[in-house]
Structures are given as structure tokens and as C-alpha cells.
Amino acid sequence: ATGFCFFVFIKGHDQEMQKAAILGLGHYVPERVVTNDDLAQMFDTSDEWIRQRTGIIERRYVEDGTGPADLAVQAANKAVEAAGISLSDIEFIIFATLNPDYFFPGSACVLQEKLNLPGIGALDVRNQCSAFIYSLSIADSFIRTGMYKRILVVGAEVHSSGLEFSDRGRDVTVLFGDGAGAVVVGATEEDRGILSTHLHADGRFAQDLWIEIPAARLFPRVTNELLQEGRHYPRMNGKKVFKMAVEKLPEVIHEALEANGFTIDDISLFVPHQANLRINEYVARQLNLPPERMYNNIQKYGNTTAASI
């Protein structure tokens, strides 16, 4: 809720300053496939109920003992290979996640150790579903100013270990899956690159999608009573989140288009966050976009938040 709206516009441009571009992409999902029918064995739901409301058919879950940094290693190695560089060329790591491996240190530091890249900067970005775009905007700025030449931006999530597999938690639990995505962002002289990023948030709606505990504002940060009430599980006001998404996503798309002198018709492909297929379908209709111009894969992976895009 604190980072509900995000859009990045990528194309060639004519600016004199150093340009930043995505040089390579990689992704990784766990092998374990969890279908809607599998979830129906755990609590009161059905394949039909989940498909109608979310469009999701299946998602991936990790095995015990696997954290987001473990998933990120796989995605990062693929992105580095696709970029045609070596891991040693990476000068900075930005890790987008709402599910860090530990309360602290950040998952970027955990990933840095796993990639054997001691000494380089490592930053976590905790902006939930929009964290990847926030991270990309930081990398873009670092590259443009000449501070770094090669930055690894990763979004990785392990939701499955923090979901409530019961009737009380089903509305949230059916949505989420585990996975990781990574890009290498670097300086380029080619006629392509990140044109602009447009970032928004509204903390007034923080409690419409949140995990309340553990919380530093509480002493102690967690109690047995709070655990029994399920306040360590994610909670969502689904109707409010849906309404906000279908209102704000078209707004920020138009903002990005106008900032760069383009119209809807100029864009070959839109790649939205994968929160709910019905949200993306609704937005596509608002923009008069045919299905082939609005990319969706939530059917196979669920919502992987910072890893989605």
C-alpha cells in the first residue's frame, strides 16, 4: 500500500548524459508447483473460486530452508550471463523484497556473500510490489551520474513460509507465490535505455495491505496473544486494493507517456505488475489494449510482488 503505483518507460533517447539500459535479464522459480486444487485440500476454496477472482491457476513454493537470497542467486547468475559480463564486473547490488531473509542485515548483503562479491555496496529496497521499479530508478540514477557502470537489480520473494493456510487467511494466501527476477543495469552508448521512472506512494492506505507484527513500535515486538490472533500474517482489504489499482495504474501510465511525448498507440507491449489478472484485464480494457499488448503470466506464478515484473 505504501508503494502501490509504479511504471517504468524504456526506449531509445537522445540525451547527452550517460544512458542506463537493461543489459541482461534472468529469473528463477522453485521446482515445486502448487495448484489451486492443492490449496483446496488445505482450506475452504476451489480451483473455480480462485480462477474467477484472480486468474491464477498455479504458483511455485520453495522447500524449507530456502530464502529469497537463494532464489536471487539463480536469477542473478542468469542475468549476468545474458549481459555477457562476469560477476566480478558488478559494482553494486540492489535487492527488492518485502520478505528479507532476516530482519537484519538486508538480503542484499546475504546475496553479496553468496555471489562472492565482498566489499561492493549492497542495498535493500522494501517497497513491496513496487520495489523493483523503485530499485530500477535508483540504478538508473547511479548509472546516469557515472557513479557505477554495472549494477545488479534483483527482486526476490519467499511468500510461502509466511502465509496462513486456513479459511481465515485464504483471500491472501491464494494470491502469492515464490520466485526471483534480476536485471543487470549498465551504461550504454546504444540507442536504447530507460527514459524515465514515475514513482508514487500513499501511506494513508498502509493498513489496507500489511503485516502488523513483529513491529519495533511494540514491546515486546511479538507475543503469543498476537500470534494467536494471526497478526503476523499478511492482511488485505481486497476490494479497496483492487479499486486503487485500476484507478492509479492507468493514471501513471498516461503520466509516463505524456512525459516522453508518446501515446498508447506508440507502445508495442505493456508489462504490468502481476497482482491479479482481473486488475490487468480491467486496465487493458480502459486503455483499449488487445490482450497481446498487455503481458500476463500470473496464471502460472501467482503474485511474486517485487519479483513480478
Tell me which residues are annotated as active site.
Answer: 129, 273, 303
Q: Which of 96, 46, 37, 36 is nearest to 71 (CA)?
A: 96
Computed over its alpha carbons, how large is the radius of gyration of the chain? Answer: 19
CA distance 160 to 145: 39
Q: What is the DSSP string of 130-179?
A: GHHHHHHHHHHHHHHTTS-SEEEEEEEE--GGG---SGGGHHHHTTB--E
Rounded to a whole number of angstroms, the distance between the first and last alpha carbons of the chain is: 17
| 108 within 8 A of 118, measured Cβ to Cβ | no
Distance CA 252, CA 136 (A): 16
